[in-house]
Every structure is written in structure tokens, then in C-alpha cells.
């Protein structure tokens, strides 16, 4: 863990995907650098460009605008300054914004006291290279460093195969399946989640 310009920066180096990355990196071209950094307005266009139908289906429920994203980043920054509520980070892969991860100690909705919900998305060009698993590990380091929560928790829909793999590889265990009290599908039906947890 290190700090840059007064903000938390976490870095982890990881071997390249054995098959090489979809953006043309050589399979044996050295380690990837994956970092978490707070998001600023300057990141909003790249953040929005990194959304696709998978992101919308499994996480956001709709495509964001740059204006709305800037406002959302302002809320995350205010929460970080206050040390409460949902806090979010961009995930940088070799210096390029490649995803998003957040932590929310206050979510409830199927979680137990002390559980901190984690949410994440990886931009399509960066998928399949371990970015999500590494982002989850890094945000767990943030939780440990700040003393927030006693368990990290993931709520994943049973059909989200990629995210279920992330939970497994990141060392989370299935706790229960819940019907959400707040999240609904476009037809109004409640969303069912599997809850996975990992001690911090
Ligand atoms: C889920 C998501 C974040 C995974 O990101 P990623 O960086 O590609 O994941 P990783 O590279 O860390 O892969 C983790 C595991 O998932 C597997 N995986 C990745 N994409 C997969 C897919 N489409 N189908 C099956 N398995 C997949 C990887 O092979 C890897 O498995 P392993 O650890 O056994 O080798 C990404 O697909 C995404 O952004 N989806 C849309 C948003 C979303 O679903 N967010 C989570 C909401 S709960």
C-alpha cells in the first residue's frame, strides 16, 4: 500500500494471462500492474466508455452519462472524506482505466452486521486477465488497513458465471441465497443473489 498526493493507492503486480491479453500484450511480456485509485471527473468519459451490456445486466441497470458519473464520483469522494458510506475506486491496468470497484459497509439487504459489500466491473477489453480478482484482493487490503467491517461480501446473481468465478478464485465462500428487498429486474420481479463472504 502506498499513497500518492494524499490519496490511497494500492498496487499489486501479477503475472500476465498465460494466453496474452486481448489488447495484444505478449504472453511473457512481464507482470501486469493493477492499481486502485480514487476516481475524478477526468476519468468519467473512460469509465462510461467501459460499460457494456454485461455491466448493465449484472451491475448498473442502465448506461451512465458523463455528467451523472461525475456527480456519482463526487458522492464517492464525499463519502471517502467523511469515512462513511459507499467508497469507490477506479482500477488501473498498466496505467489505463480498466474497471471499477466499491465497498459499502451500510448495504444490508441479505448481509449480516460487519459485512462490507463489494461491487465491481471490468471494462470489456481488460476482461479475462485477473483484473477483477486482483481488484477484490486490493479492496480487501483497503478494508483491513482502515478497519472497516469484519467480512467482505459479494452478492452475485446465480446466472453471472464470470462473477461467480471471481468469488471462488478470490477465496469467498457461499453464505446463503437471498431474495433482495430492494433490487428488482426490469419486469419488477425481485433479484435473487447468492451471498459470498470472506473474513478480513
Ligand atoms: C465479472 C467481471 C468483473 C470479471 O472480470 P474479469 O477481470 O474478467 O475477471 P478475472 O479475469 O479476474 O477472472 C476471474 C475468473 O472468472 C473467469 N471468467 C472471466 N470471465 C468469464 C466468463 N465470461 N465466463 C466464465 N468464466 C469467466 C476467469 O476465467 C477466471 O477464472 P479462474 O480464476 O478460475 O481462472 C466482468 O466479467 C464484468 O465486468 N462483468 C460485468 C459486471 C459484473 O458482472 N459485475 C459483477 C456483479 S456481481
**Residues 70-106: pLDDT tens digits?**
999 999 999 999 999 999 999 999 999 999 999 999 9
Residue 66 domain-assigned (yes or no): yes
Q: Single out the residue of 86, 93, 82 nearest to residue 107, CA to CA.
A: 86
Residue 119 has pLDDT above 80, yes or no: yes
Residue 185 domain-assigned (yes or no): no
Number of domains in the chain: 1
- pLDDT score of 171: 97
Residue 117 domain-assigned (yes or no): yes
d(CA 40, CA 132): 20
Residue 128 domain-assigned (yes or no): yes
Residue 172 domain-assigned (yes or no): no
Residue 118 domain-assigned (yes or no): yes
Side-chain-side CA neighbours of 191 within 13 Å: the count stands at 21
Residue 196 domain-assigned (yes or no): no
Residue 93 sits in a domain whose CATH number is 3.40.630.30
**Residues 153, 168 contacting (CB under 8 angstroms):** no
**Residues 89, 38 contacting (CB under 8 angstroms):** yes
DSSP-based three-state secondary structure for 22: coil
- pLDDT score of 11: 56
Q: What are φ and ψ of residue 3, in 5° steps?
A: -120, 140
Residue 178 domain-assigned (yes or no): no
Long-range contacts of 29-35 (CB under 8 A, 24+ apart): 32/93, 32/94, 32/129, 32/130, 33/92, 33/93, 33/94, 33/95, 34/91, 34/92, 34/93, 34/98, 34/130, 34/131, 34/134, 34/135, 34/138, 35/9, 35/10, 35/11, 35/91, 35/92, 35/138
Ligand 1: residue whose CA is nearest its atom 45: 121
d(CA 35, CA 56): 24
List ligand 1's pocket residues with C-beta within 6 A.
Answer: 54-55, 58-59, 120-122, 127-133, 156, 160-163, 165-166, 169
Domain that holds residue 139: 2-149
**Residues 8, 17 contacting (CB under 8 angstroms):** no
Q: How far is the CA of 22 from the centre of ligand 1 (A)?
A: 14
Label the pairing between strands 7-14 and 2-4: antiparallel
DSSP-based three-state secondary structure for 115: strand
Share of the chain above pLDDT 70, in %: 85
Predicted structure pTM score: 0.89
Q: How far is the CA of 163 from the centre of ligand 1 (A)?
A: 5
Amino acid at each position: 500500500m502506498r499513497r500518492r498526493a494524499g490519496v490511497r493507492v494500492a498496487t499489486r503486480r501479477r503475472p500476465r494471462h498465460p494466453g496474452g491479453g486481448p489488447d495484444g500484450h505478449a504472453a511473457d511480456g512481464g507482470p501486469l500492474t493493477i492499481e486502485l485509485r480514487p476516481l475524478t471527473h477526468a476519468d468519467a468519459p473512460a469509465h462510461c466508455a467501459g460499460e457494456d451490456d454485461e455491466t448493465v445486466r449484472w451491475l448498473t441497470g442502465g448506461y451512465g452519462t458523463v455528467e451523472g458519473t461525475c456527480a456519482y464520483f463526487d458522492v464517492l469522494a464525499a463519502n471517502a472524506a467523511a469515512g462513511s458510506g459507499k467508497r469507490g475506486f477506479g482500477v488501473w491496468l498498466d496505467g489505463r482505466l480498466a474497471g471499477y470497484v466499491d465497498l459499502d459497509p451500510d448495504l444490508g439487504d441479505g448481509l449480516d452486521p460487519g459485512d462490507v459489500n463489494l461491487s465491481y466491473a471490468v471494462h470489456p477489453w481488460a476482461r479475462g486477465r485477473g483484473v477483477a480478482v486482483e481488484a477484490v484482493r486490493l479492496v480487501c487490503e483497503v478494508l483491513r488497513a482502515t478497519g472497516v467491517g469484519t467480512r467482505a461480501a459479494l452478492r452475485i446473481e446465480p446466472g453471472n458465471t464470470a462473477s461467480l468465478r471471481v468469488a471462488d478464485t478470490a477465496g469467498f465462500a457461499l453464505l446463503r441465497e437471498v431474495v433482495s428487498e430492494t433490487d428488482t429486474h426490469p419486469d419488477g420481479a425481485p433479484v435473487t443473489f447468492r451471498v459470498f463472504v470472506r473474513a478480513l
